[in-house]
């Protein structure tokens, strides 16, 4: 289990979180450059076991909100997370003890490391998705406990800021935050979801930073050995490679604070084709029109040769890719959770048929039989 | 000059502010019902001369933000202004001494009376437009002094709320507030524009509540005498009746937090037609295609018989109306002001040709020669 994050850990985390992000969470390469600059200045960041948190510790989450397509064009100023965290602290008149991870996917795996380092508090090795999702209310910290998204604070690269002290529900909190994010150019820093250590322990998807790091390390090893990297990714995540082919079409719009669209992949060996629809993240995959995988299970696109994550904002014609389906963490598969993150929550009139198994959210030392042990 | 607002004053204010609103500011009849219920509970509201404010008094503005088309369907909970005011006070950790009027038009003339009554502080007989405008930065308190729109607070009829502690500019403050308002159903209470008494005195359009009241009284008298009410409106405002006819077409969309569109009026006696474009408020009037009046001068539509205001949300085919053009207050006609509220600020490639004269913003007792003396 990872207990601190150093410069050397950035590349494995970027790869692992890029894959777990199912397309979203923000560009992991750019997030990694940002994290590296902060670690160079401040030193490694401490990562703590969620079960080491005091029950009454005060924890928040930190992340970027917006469209991943924007995240590669509108670079951060660098202190968005810290300024949003301090603004929220000022509003609630209390100090946070630790920062948890809203989503382990993409650059949003790194924002809580950056925020924690800049604020001088540890990052919790726990997120609330075990992947990435496009909307705030899709967080197990929220639907798995009585924590609420508001009060929250948002800050952009300029000096625009907002505090939302209350929202009628977490869904309304998302709607307000999304529109504020649009006013901030579809990219803003968000610090939200005040909760206690007890709530983190109860509702989080734990050890996902350790998992992202482990996954990245296994990918790098497999690249060096020139083995079948996509298969290694599937093995680590207890999933399977559902398709290999070439991207033949992409339709992607940046609209209302999201990147929405679809990607088509043609199989190398025959006329089969895979279609994936996304809203920041990959949500539903169909082979020749038949649904094969849906949210909350993970649909991850990696390059065919290197097994590197292919996120939504860099999907392009001609890339040779493999698509991996992996079982979602248990926290996302309860009845309550599926109402928020299941296919119907995204407007797809499809039942969720869970993939068997899964390792995301398990303690590293209990899941070694499935290969997840750093 | 009016020094308090009683139940008897509501109808004249609703008429006068409805006319001054140039179509916007929110439905004055519904605003009047709301104000009446608060006065019945709390008694009359004190109105103070802006020059009676201490230079270091702390003043804010209070009003509704959104689309007037929504204001007649989505009724307020009733304490939006008070809750927003308290939220902003909590954020800045100071108490306000008085509430000024953002815009004298429509129901937004009454919101500062309601907020003041509920909070136990007086309302200042001064606004920042002498009319209504659709966007926050179009306020003489902002472009006429070094006050800024942020920090501000917004609250809706449910328990959704937001504080914006900082904005990169007043225009960005408007953009963020507009998107928050959209998240709140295109109607929210806004308390903003912290300023000192000195700033109010320097930049306000003064005595406009008194003017609205006086205008309403003159309309009621003229209705009783069955005289030419639209001509009386023009006389009080030092303007002129530019058109009389029947509304023959209306195109109105509620979009991005505004009501946008145009109205066409056919003259009774010949084939002439008047076209007016609006964004909440009437902005530009053309007779047979030739521009006759533009913002910031006032374009006011009243019913032909009764001289009652016809606001944007109640424009409809068949209504017989008169259109009055009236000179804007001097505060809106400086070079700095015209950059924010002139025709080019709204995208019309037209020079502003000011109507001569004008009484809006003058001291009642110095303007009696033009008929404005309560």
pLDDT (tens digit per residue) in B154-210? 999 998 999 999 998 999 999 999 999 999 988 999 999 999 999 999 999 999 999
Report the pLDDT value the prediction gives residue A307, as an integer from 0 to 100: 97
Residue B179: which of A164, A172, A183 has the nearest Cβ? A183
Specify the range with the lowest mean pLDDT, choosing from A11-15, A168-172, A206-210, A330-334. A168-172
Numbered residues of chain A with Cβ closer than 8 Å to any chain B Cβ: 87, 91, 158-168, 172, 175-176, 178-180, 182-184
Give the chain B residue whose CA is nearest to the CA of A87: B165
Given A158, A164, A180, which is nearest B168 (Cβ)?
A158
Q: How far is B2 from chain A (nearest CA, A)?
A: 38
Judged by average pLDDT, the poorest of A32-36, B81-85, B251-255 is B251-255
What distance in Å separates the CA atoms of residue B105 and residue B10, rounded to the nearest whole number? Answer: 14
Residue B369 confidence (pLDDT) above 60: no
Mutate to test the interface with B, among A174, A176, A255 (most CBs of B within 10 A): A176
pLDDT, residue B254, reads 87
- For A84, nearest residue in chain B (alpha carbons): B165
C-alpha to C-alpha distance for B306 and B194, rounded to whole angstroms: 39
Q: How far is B176 from chain A (nearest CA, A)?
A: 5
In the structure, what pLDDT confidence band is assigned to residue B374 with cuts at 50, 70 and 90? very low
For the cut 60, the answer to whether the pLDDT of residue A330 exceeds it is: yes
What is the distance between the alpha carbons of residues A168 and A172, in angstroms, rounded to a whole number?
6
Write down the pLDDT at residue B159.
85
Cβ contact (<8 Å) for B179 and A175?
Answer: no
The strand order across the sheet containing A258-267 reads A290-294, A281-287, A273-279, A258-267, A240-255, A320-326, A298-303
Q: Tell me the torsion sign for CA atoms A32, A37, A43, A47.
A: negative
∠A290-A273-A21 over CA atoms, to 5°?
80
Specify the DSSP element, H or E, that contains B164.
strand B161-166
Say yes or no to pLDDT of B318 above 90: yes
Assign A6 a pLDDT band (cuts: 50, 70, 90). Answer: very high
pLDDT score at A105:
95
Q: What's this model's pTM, rounded to 2 decimal places?
A: 0.82
Min Cα distance B71 → chain A (Å) is 20
Question: Is-contact B18 B106, C-beta < 8 A?
Answer: yes
On chain A, the residues whose CB falls within 8 A of the CB of B182 are: 179
Segment B297-306, tens digit of pLDDT: 999 999 999 9
Contact call for B160 and A183, based on CB within 8 A:
no
What pLDDT sits at residue A372?
53
Q: Do B158 and A178 touch (CB under 8 A)?
A: no
A56-70, A109-123, A128-142, A229-243: least confidently modelled range: A56-70
Residue of A nearest to B177 (CA): A180
Chain B CB contacts of A170 below 8 Å? none
B328 vs B343: CA distance, rounded Å: 13
| Closest alpha carbon to A176 in A145, A137, A220 | A137
What average pLDDT does chain B have?
Answer: 94
Quick check: B317 and B248 in contact, CB under 8 A? Answer: yes
| CA-CA-CA-CA dihedral for A209, A212, A214, A220, to nearest 10 | -140
* Separation of alpha carbons A87 and A63, rounded Å: 15
Query: Does the structure show a pLDDT above 90 at A70?
Result: no
Identity of the residue in A165, A178, A179 whose CB atom sits nearest the CB atom of B87:
A165
- ipTM confidence score: 0.70
Cβ pair A172:B183 closer than 8 A: yes
Are the Cβ atoms of B163 and A159 closer than 8 angstroms?
Answer: no
Flag if B163 and A163 touch (Cβ within 8 Å): yes
Separation in Å, CA of A353 to nearest CA in chain B: 34
**CB pairs < 8 Å spanning A and B:** 71
> Who among A159, A176, A178 is closest to B160 (CB)?
A176
Interchain CB distance below 8 Å, B161 and A160: no
Q: Quote the CA–CA distance of B213 and B218 in Å, as a whole number.
A: 9
CA distance B262 to A176: 30
Q: What is the mean pLDDT of chain A?
A: 94
The pLDDT score that the predictor gives to residue B366 is 61
Mean pLDDT of A319-343: 97
Q: At residue B367, does pLDDT exceed 70?
A: no
What is the number of other CB atoms lying within 10 angstroms of the CB of residue A52?
A: 13
Say yes or no to pLDDT of B370 above 90: no
Give how far A102 is from chain B: nearest CA, Å.
Answer: 21
Closest C-alpha among A285, A357, A363 to residue A324: A285
Reported as a single tens digit per residue, the pLDDT across B250-283 is: 999 988 888 899 999 999 989 999 999 999 999 9
Torsion of CA B266, B268, B272, B275, to 10 degrees: -30
């Amino acid at each position: 289990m990872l207990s601190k994050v150093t410069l050397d850990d950035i590349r494995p985390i970027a790869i692992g979180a890029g894959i777990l992000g199912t397309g979203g969470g923000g560009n992991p390469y750019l997030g990694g450059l940002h994290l590296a600059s902060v670690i160079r200045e401040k030193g490694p960041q401490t990562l703590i076991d969620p079960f080491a948190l005091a029950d009454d510790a005060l924890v928040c989450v930190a992340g970027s909100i917006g469209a991943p397509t924007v995240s590669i064009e509108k670079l951060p100023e660098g202190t968005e997370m810290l300024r949003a965290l301090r603004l929220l602290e000022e509003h609630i008149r209390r100090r946070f003890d630790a920062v948890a991870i809203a989503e382990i996917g993409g650059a949003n795996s790194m924002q809580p490391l950056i925020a924690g380092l800049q604020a001088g508090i540890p990052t919790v090795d726990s997120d609330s998705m075990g992947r990435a999702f496009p909307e705030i209310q899709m967080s197990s910290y929220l639907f798995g406990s009585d924590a609420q998204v508001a009060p929250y604070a948002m800050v952009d690269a300029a000096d625009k800021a907002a505090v939302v002290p209350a929202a009628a529900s977490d869904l309304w909190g998302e709607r307000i935050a999304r529109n504020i994010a649009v006013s901030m150019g579809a990219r803003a820093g968000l610090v939200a979801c005040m909760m206690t250590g007890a709530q983190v322990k109860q509702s989080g998807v734990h050890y996902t930073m350790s998992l992202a790091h482990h996954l990245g390390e296994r990918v790098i090893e497999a690249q060096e050995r020139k083995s079948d990297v996509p298969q290694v990714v599937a093995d680590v995540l207890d999933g399977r490679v559902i398709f290999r082919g070439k991207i033949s079409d992409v339709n992607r719009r940046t609209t209302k604070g999201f990147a929405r669209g679809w990607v088509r992949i043609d199989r190398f060996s025959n006329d089969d084709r895979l279609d994936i629809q996304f809203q920041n993240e990959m949500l539903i995959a169909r082979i020749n029109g038949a649904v094969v995988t849906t949210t909350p299970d993970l649909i991850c696109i990696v390059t065919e040769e290197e097994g590197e994550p292919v996120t939504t904002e860099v999907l392009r014609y001609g890339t040779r890719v493999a698509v991996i389906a992996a079982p979602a963490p248990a926290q996302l598969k309860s009845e309550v959770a599926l109402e928020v993150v299941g296919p119907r929550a995204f407007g797809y009139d499809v039942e969720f048929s869970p993939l068997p198994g899964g390792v995301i959210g398990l303690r590293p030392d209990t899941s070694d039989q499935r290969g997840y042990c750093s």
